[in-house]
Structure 1
Amino acid sequence: MSVGTVLAWAGGVVAAFFVGALNPATTIARLLGTDLASSGSGNPGATNAGRVLGRKWGVVVGVLDVLKGLVPALVAGHLVGPHAAYAVGIAAVLGHVWSPFLRGRGGKGVATTLGAILGVHPWVALVVVVVFAVAVALTRWVAAGSIFGAFAMIVVAALIWTGHAPGDAWTALWLLAIALLVLARHRNNVLGWWRQRHLDENA
């Protein structure tokens, strides 16, 4: 790999990280006179934006968050190849999750993850969206959709790894990495659900 190629990859990853770090939920909330950090769940993501600002704004934020992952992945995939798209895609997700513009805070990365996957493997994104939608419809809980969507990515990664779905080892590892990141960002949701279930069983 030439020095120029290494610099191009590094520049792409850094640029994608800062694109991901831009937080439309917080920006829109401020323009509307609301501090999202002290409203609702306090999370600077689409779900909380929809809860605090209204469903319309939640959809707008969600679309913008998807684009933060989609555009860098598409550009890198077109100019360099899928492995570069993986690198900038996960960089965008990391920027969203730990935004330097929000002092290291950020959203849970679900929409940006979906965008990154959509930019490289639309069929995987379709699987994730279907699983997400079914889980939300059954539970009426967006976090459950995100968690089950992440598990769907792990299943797809396993299928790719074993040769039962298209893709190489890097594809499988990439999907596994971002799925685990999404699950880690939802650990409080899982713990809260577990505690509530325990309380209900002992009530």
Structure 2
Amino acid sequence: MMVNGYFILSVVIAYFLGNISPSTIQAKMAGHDIKKEGSGNAGTTNTFRVLGAKAAVITLVIDIAKGVLAVLLGGWLCSSVAAYACALAVLLGHVFPVLLRFQGGKGVATAFGAFLAIDWRMALLCLLIVAVVVLLSRYVSLGSLTAAIACPFLCMWLEPGFVPYGVVMALIVIFKHRSNLMRLVRGEENKLNFHKRDRKGE
């Protein structure tokens, strides 16, 4: 793999795309601090709990779009390998955003967007896994964790060249869900409630 200026440029742009936080922006506009309310996570689920469905949908769409755009940019500026690197970079930018003092979200929607641009079949299978697990358990975090565990195997099947990046991305998502995992083990994780906003969870 040859690393050139375009490769580096695409990865840097992808990282800073990941820094864009729609949940944080919307919360500030509404007089809230998303990092201090609900679960304290700047993601779709906590946005739904703190700000409501409309803000959550906006957050979800933008976070997915970040992943898609980053991968497409890498492929357009450089190569398929750059696209893979940009998938990892945009996730790192979302999870550890330098512009937000490294306090980002858990990366599920952004990772989904990146997968969608790399191989839509892989993305849809991950989405199916999340949907089934959440519908059966009502634990969003469990759905995310299950999909993250399945990710490397899906990569081996559908996109072998992406396996090293997919493994690292899966580990990042699992790491960011470590508190959820501990609450699941202790039976303290809150279930998703579509009728009222909870204070804890994803």
With structure 2 as the length reference, what TM-score do the two structures score?
Answer: 0.88
Distance 1:44 1:194 in 2: 23
Distance 1:42 1:8 in 2: 36
Amino acid at match of 2:109: A
The CA RMSD measured in Å over matched residues stands at: 1.5
The number of equivalent residue pairs is: 188
The structure that is helix-richer by fraction is 1
Give 5+ residue unaligned stretches, structure 1. Answer: 198-203
Contact 1:118 1:124 in 2 (8 A): yes
Matches within 5 A, 1:78-117: 78-117=76-115
Amino acid at match of 1:82: S
Residue 117 (structure 2) aligns with: 119
Deviation of 1:112 after TM superposition, in Å, equals: 0.5
Tell me which of the two structures has the higher relative contact order, counting C-alpha pairs closer than 8 angstroms and 6 or more residues apart.
2
Distance 2:133 2:53 in 1: 19
Distance 1:84 1:37 in 2: 32
Matches within 5 A, 1:150-161: 150-157=148-155, 160=156
Distance 2:65 2:154 in 1: 23
Contact 2:6 2:77 in 1 (8 A): no
Residue 164 (structure 2) aligns with: 173
Distance 1:118 1:10 in 2: 22
Distance 1:166 1:113 in 2: 16
Give 5+ residue unaligned stretches, structure 2. Answer: 189-202
Determine which of 56, 62, 68 is the counterpart of 1:58. 56
Amino acid at match of 1:84: A
Contact 1:127 1:152 in 2 (8 A): no
Deviation of 1:125 after TM superposition, in Å, equals: 0.2
Deviation of 1:175 after TM superposition, in Å, equals: 1.4
**Cα-to-partner distance string for 1:143-167 (whole Å, 9 max, x where unaligned):** 111111112202213xx2xxxx343
Residue 132 (structure 2) aligns with: 134
Deviation of 1:79 after TM superposition, in Å, equals: 3.9
Identity over the aligned pairs, expressed in percent? 38
Residue 173 (structure 2) aligns with: 182
Partner secondary structure for residue 12 of structure 1: helix
Deviation of 1:81 after TM superposition, in Å, equals: 2.6
Partner secondary structure for residue 36 of structure 1: coil
**Bigger radius of gyration:** 1
Contact 2:7 2:77 in 1 (8 A): no
